[in-house]
């Protein structure tokens, strides 16, 4: 995994690379193995500190996405060619902006104060659930499915149970990573658009004067810093050269010289650019689809299925017969006790279910004492 945070990550969300969050696309088995490996290296955590790293980054992402939407919308209105990925961004910008507002609402002061953070590694100073969300997004190319999400979190907890409050934070953390990835995709889309505009501007300058001599054209081209020219520029400029003699035209010869310096052919550049456009389109489609999914998930039901504490409480015969609000009350009580006592949540859950089971086996059992709630919420 690439290193995205600097040594002073507590003070600034320092990004060393704006690369799209897209790593090796794992199979189901490999993804679960990765989740367990992640859990094993997350042993060194710190008590959380209240910092503004992620909220500040979210605000910056909102600004970049707004600027990208304006740029692409204006280009579309001007009749400029917009890639499919750019079209996805324009069509879904207001959905994503609404989610940014929701995330801000879900990040009240002190939100991160209760989330354990990593003390080492590339995500040091950030909540461990943030890296969990990042890994899931990276290795699925932002394509989140409920089954995959549940299996990933369950596999992680086979090695290291997450706190109740961490599990409740997962949906928001996934949204934050999806927005981060959308920002990076938007950056690339806008960069490509600007390169295409630059290529068109240069082509217009070179071909404006039909009587211009080869010397004059070469003089114009010699002023260009060729080291900064990206694939999108080269492909668009080559497109504008269609119909020109590749053996004699000075602009064509200039382009061929650049490609030779870069050690690549025009066919390779075009092929790689088409592949990148296809990948951008797939990623932004996945981001938007996953964001829609996360907003509609019944997280309460998912929480009960993946929570280590809930699984322990379900060992008590009557727990499954309780209504969801009561079950949530029991979990909340365990969370409060754990925070105040220094004991692990799972240890407390095991203790109260064991006490309830012992009470149920007595000769004249007291039904109150045979319920874990007696030890969590009542006299016990």
Q: pTM, whole model, 2 decimals? A: 0.89
For 47, the 3-state DSSP assignment is coil
Whole-number pLDDT of residue 17? 62
pLDDT-above-90 percentage for the chain: 58
Q: What is the mean pLDDT of residues 343-370?
A: 88
> Which residue carries 């890639």 as its tokens?
83
Alpha-carbon 343 to chain mean position: 32
- Phi/psi region, residue 376 (left: phi>0; alpha: psi -120 to 50; beta: rest), is alpha
Contact 227, 233 (CB under 8 A): no
What does the pLDDT read at residue 36?
94
Structure tokens at 268: 């390779």
Residue 214 has pLDDT above 90, yes or no: no
Lowest mean pLDDT among 132-136, 172-176, 218-222, 252-256: 218-222
Q: Give the length of the chain.
A: 380
Q: What is the pLDDT of residue 213?
A: 76
CA distance 327 to 319: 7
Rounded CA-CA distance 172/85 in Å is 24
At residue 216, does pLDDT exceed 60? yes
Q: What is the pLDDT of residue 11?
A: 37
End-to-end CA distance of the chain: 48
- Contact between residue 56 and residue 11 where contact means Cβ atoms under 8 Å apart: no
pLDDT at 14 over 50: no
> For 77-206, where are the E strands, in sequence order?
117-118
Cα separation of 338 and 351, whole Å?
A: 12
Name the 3-class secondary structure at 127: strand
Is the pLDDT score of 364 beyond 80?
no
Mean of all residue pLDDT scores within the chain = 88
Residue 161 per-residue DSSP state? P
Closest Cα to residue 356, out of 367, 341, 345? 367
Q: Give me the pLDDT at residue 212, please.
A: 67
Res. 133 pLDDT band, cuts 50 70 90:
very high
The pLDDT, as a whole number, for residue 158 is 93
pLDDT computed for residue 210 by the predictor: 59
> Whole-angstrom Cα distance, residue 344 to residue 361?
26
b/e per residue 266-282 (b: at least 16 CB within 10 A): beebeeebeebbebbbb
Amino acid 106: pLDDT: 81
Mean pLDDT of 150-157: 95
Of the candidates 17, 19, 15, the one whose C-alpha atom is nearest the C-alpha of residue 279 is 19
Which pLDDT belongs to residue 227?
Answer: 84
pLDDT surpasses 90 at 5? no
Residue 177: predicted pLDDT: 96
Q: What is the pLDDT of residues 295-335, one digit of tens each?
A: 999 999 999 999 999 999 999 888 888 999 999 999 999 99
Distance, CA of 29 to CA of 305 (rounded, Å): 20
Query: Is 92's pLDDT higher than 70?
Result: yes
Q: Are 20 and 283 in contact (CB under 8 A)?
A: yes
pLDDT of residue 1: 37
Q: Is the pLDDT of residue 6 over 60?
A: no
Is residue 52 pLDDT above 80, yes or no? Answer: no
């Amino acid at each position: 995994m690439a290193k995205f945070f600097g040594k002073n990550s507590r003070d600034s969300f320092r990004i060393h690379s704006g690369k799209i969050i897209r790593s090796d696309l794992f199979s189901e088995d490999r993804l679960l193995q990765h989740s367990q490996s992640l859990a094993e290296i997350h042993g060194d955590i710190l008590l959380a500190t209240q910092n503004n790293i992620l909220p500040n980054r979210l605000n910056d992402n909102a600004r970049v996405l707004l600027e990208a939407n304006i740029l692409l919308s204006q280009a579309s209105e001007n009749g400029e060619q917009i890639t499919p990925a750019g079209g996805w961004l324009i069509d879904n910008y207001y959905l994503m902006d609404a989610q940014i507002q929701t995330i801000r609402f879900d990040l009240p002061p002190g939100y991160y104060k209760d989330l354990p953070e990593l003390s080492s590694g590339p995500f040091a100073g950030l909540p461990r659930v943030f890296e969990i969300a990042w890994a899931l997004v990276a290795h699925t190319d932002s394509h989140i499915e409920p089954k995959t999400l549940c299996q990933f979190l369950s596999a992680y907890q086979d090695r290291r149970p997450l706190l109740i409050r961490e599990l409740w934070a997962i949906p928001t953390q996934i949204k934050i990573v999806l927005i981060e990835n959308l920002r990076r995709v938007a950056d690339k889309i806008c960069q490509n658009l600007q390169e295409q505009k630059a290529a068109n501007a240069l082509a217009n300058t070179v071909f404006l004067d039909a009587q211009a001599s080869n010397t004059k054209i070469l003089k114009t081209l010699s002023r260009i810093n060729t080291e900064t020219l990206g694939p999108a520029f080269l492909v668009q400029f080559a497109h504008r050269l269609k119909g020109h003699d590749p053996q004699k035209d000075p602009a064509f010869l200039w382009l061929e010289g650049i490609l030779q310096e870069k050690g690549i052919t025009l066919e390779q550049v075009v092929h790689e650019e088409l592949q990148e456009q296809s990948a951008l389109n797939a990623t932004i489609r996945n981001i938007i689809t996953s964001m829609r999914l996360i907003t509609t998930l019944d997280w309460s039901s998912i929480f009960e299925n993946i929570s280590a504490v809930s699984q322990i409480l379900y060992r008590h015969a009557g727990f499954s017969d309780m209504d969801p609000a009561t079950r949530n009350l029991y979990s909340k009580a365990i969370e409060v006790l754990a925070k105040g006592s220094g004991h692990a949540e799972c240890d407390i859950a095991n203790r109260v279910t064991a006490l309830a089971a012992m009470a149920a086996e007595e000769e004249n059992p007291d039904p109150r004492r045979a319920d874990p709630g007696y030890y969590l919420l009542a006299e016990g």
